[in-house]
Chain A
Amino acid sequence: MELNREENVMLEGGVEKTSSPWRNIWSELVKNKAAMVGLSIIVILILIALFGKYLMPYDPNTGVLAESLQKPSSAHIFGTDEQGRDIFSRIIDGTKISLRVGITAVAIALTAGIIFGSFAGYYGGKIDMYIMRLMDIILAFPSLLLAIAFMSALGKGIDKAIIAISIVTIPEYARIVRGSILSVKENEYVQAAKAIGNNDMGIIFKHILPNVMSPIIVRATLGISTAILETSALGFLGLGIQPPQAEWGSMLGAGRGYFYNAPHIVLFPGIAITITVLAFNLFGDGLRDALDPKLRK
């Protein structure tokens, strides 16, 4: 065929190997410095969560009361809390829970939000109406109050807190997903997907969702921080972690009375939260860019 002549022009680097999309995303991510910083921090955090017990100089849950409220020193690099526990060890120990809270809460809310949002957006009409009214109801509920209310119904414990927090955030994801789907749904490639015989699920999950991920990713990375912070608010009201388990948010809450005479008690968990949140956000932004083949070189 005569048409094949153009290959000569297009050929830039010989025959390419088959490369998986994940490899592409990865190679793109690697190029993004901010994202890599974020990812490195996340990896370190995960390592700490997994192997933290080898790093802890002291038992995080037992303290020597006589050594309470000590300023950072060589013995306790982050100082000690009101029970005389080593804050450094507690921060390391708390990593596990804080990460788990952030990640699972977002994962649950995200999954539910995506399902609700995409059904509402894709099918429209009555389904949309019912789903979005339900979302409105949850949304109209002040979120902290709703979380508290759910927790008092579900009972205590970190798992319940995670569920409560995720339920509260579902509507936000659902709204974002729905909105994006409404705008993507009319695209011709969606029509094309239908024309070649895709069923609704195929269209939603293969063709629409991948194209609405960027706002969702950005929201989700922010959501991780919200979840961590909201756990701390629940902890503040005695609904979060059961003591003596360390968790950053609760450490912050418990330490707030010592603001004047032992500010380090709240400083370090605050920094830990901030760094974690920052890392997820940097990584999220990078991931969004990497997932978009248009931004790839």
Chain B
Amino acid sequence: MVKYIIKRLILLIPVLLGVSIMVFVVMHVFQADPASIILGQHATAEQIEKLRQELGLNNPLYVQYWDFLKGALQGDLGSSLITKTPVVKEILSRFPATIELALAAIIIASIFGISIGVISAVKQNSIVDYIGMVFALLGVSMPIFWLGLILIVIFAVQMHLLPVAGRIQIGLEPAHITGFYLIDSLLTGNMASFKSALSHIILPAVALGSYSTAIIARMTRSTMLEIIGQDYIRTARAKGLVEKVVILQHALRNALIPIITVIGLQLGSLLGGAVLTETVFSWPGVGSYTVEAILKSDYPVVQGAVILLAVVFVLVNLAVDLLYAYLDPRIKYS
């Protein structure tokens, strides 16, 4: 098992190398010139040229990549062109927010998606089934920022149930331990913070998770239908087990295996896909930060963020695979 994990981590290297090359090349064929970004609008051509020399921007691309890689191996991804702060620090300070949001979204999506899927499958071809599936289809057809704004208007502005935006009520930020507000507030026993953080995360998580909810619901439904037809479900019934146990224990447990794959993939894309949600809800995460960086051509930040997101993505996949082994005893990694 440990060996398997190490092996998977070794496989991370070519992926990260690939990702870094790709992002590096793409960012460098970008038209904006970092030197002129640094120098701002009053700069002269000579100043720009001087800075280009200093920054090594006139070197061949592979030399620049090599320099970048050397830095990266030492944990130095350079500094933001805009704020001058080290990229690693900037990104790490925003990472917990993104991860917290993505996790919340995937949890909500899983809860709703799996419930809808299971109910639809159990009541196949009934009105409940159709409603569930139309609901799921709506989830994939609504643009996130649209949905986000609607949610804000309904739940925050009209009903005053939940806050509009942000991560927590100003002033209630918990002490920094992990960077995850929900966890930190629990660790410090700060219930007011916890409540505030929880109420802030609901709307963005629902908006972000809507697409995943739909995908998970459809996946769950089809998997459940298949599994309900399996022989071992009949066996469970033949034992006299009540239907609830049959469905929730015997069937769902098996269905979870393919569902987990989907959830894993979705979580991966949520991490990078939170861009619009983060923007709408002013969520201080990496996604919107990175897009801003792209728009401002701040590419040390873009490179760093993409690489970090890739690492997390691969780690999430690894976690999913390990979860498989837990859920499906037939799978053993050695």
Contacts and interface: CB of A to CB of B under 8 A. Distances in A.
A281 B273 contact: no
Contacts of A139: 268, 313
B18 A134 contact: yes
Contact of A141 (B149, B272, B276): B272
A237 B288 CA distance: 11
A215 B201 CA distance: 33
Interface of B: 11, 14-15, 18-19, 22-23, 25-27, 29-31, 137-138, 140-146, 149, 153, 215, 218, 265, 268-269, 271-273, 275-276, 287, 290-291, 294-295, 302, 305-306, 309-310, 313-314
Nearest to A260: B153
A166 B218 CA distance: 23
B22 A137 contact: yes
B330 to A, nearest CB: 15
B137 A278 contact: yes
Interface centre among A133, A142, A144 (most CB of B within 10 A): A142
Contact of B273 (A136, A140, A143, A276): A143
Contacts of B287: 142
A266 B146 contact: yes
B146 A136 contact: no
A278 B294 CA distance: 33
Contact of B276 (A134, A226, A233, A273): A233
A222 interface: yes
A145 interface: yes
A221 to B, nearest CB: 10
A153 B272 contact: no
Contacts of B15: 133, 136-137, 140
Contact of A153 (B26, B290, B295): B26
A233 B276 CA distance: 8
A253 B143 CA distance: 9
Interface in A239-295: 249, 252-253, 256, 259-260, 266, 270, 273-274, 276-278, 281
A136 B314 contact: yes
Interface residues of A, number: 40
Contacts of B302: 145, 149
A98 interface: no
17 contacts: A137-B15, A141-B23, A141-B309, A141-B310, A142-B287, A142-B309, A143-B273, A145-B272, A148-B291, A152-B26, A256-B149, A259-B149, A260-B153, A273-B141, A274-B141, A277-B141, A281-B140
Contacts of A259: 149, 153
Nearest to B157: A260
B317 to A, nearest CB: 8
Contacts of B19: 137, 140-141
Given A145-B306, A149-B26, A278-B138, 6 more contacts: A133-B11, A133-B18, A141-B23, A144-B272, A145-B275, A145-B294
B30 A137 contact: no
Contacts of B295: 237
Contact of B143 (A134, A144, A249, A281): A249
A95 interface: no
Nearest to A136: B15
A232 interface: yes
Contact of B272 (A143, A172, A260): A143
A41 to B, nearest CB: 13
Contacts of A149: 22-23, 26-27, 294, 302
Nearest to B31: A152
Interface in A201-227: 218, 222, 225-226
A256 B295 CA distance: 20
A237 B293 CA distance: 12
Given A139-B313, A140-B19, A237 B291 contact: yes
Closest 10 CB pairs of A and B: A142-B272, A277-B141, A137-B18, A140-B310, A274-B141, A149-B26, A140-B313, A153-B29, A136-B15, A259-B149
A58 interface: no
Nearest to A248: B143
Given A137-B18, A142-B271, A237-B295, A150 B146 contact: no
A105 interface: no
Nearest to A253: B145
B137 A281 contact: yes
Interface string A145-178: 1001110110000000000000000001000000
A3 to B, nearest CB: 35
Given A133-B15, A249-B143, A273-B143, A142 B276 contact: no
B136 to A, nearest CB: 9
A229 interface: yes
A152 B302 CA distance: 13
A249 B143 CA distance: 8
B142 A142 contact: no
Contacts of A252: 143, 145-146
Contacts of B30: 152-153
Contacts of A278: 137-138, 141
A172 B264 CA distance: 13
B266 to A, nearest CB: 11
B101 to A, nearest CB: 14
Contacts of B14: 133
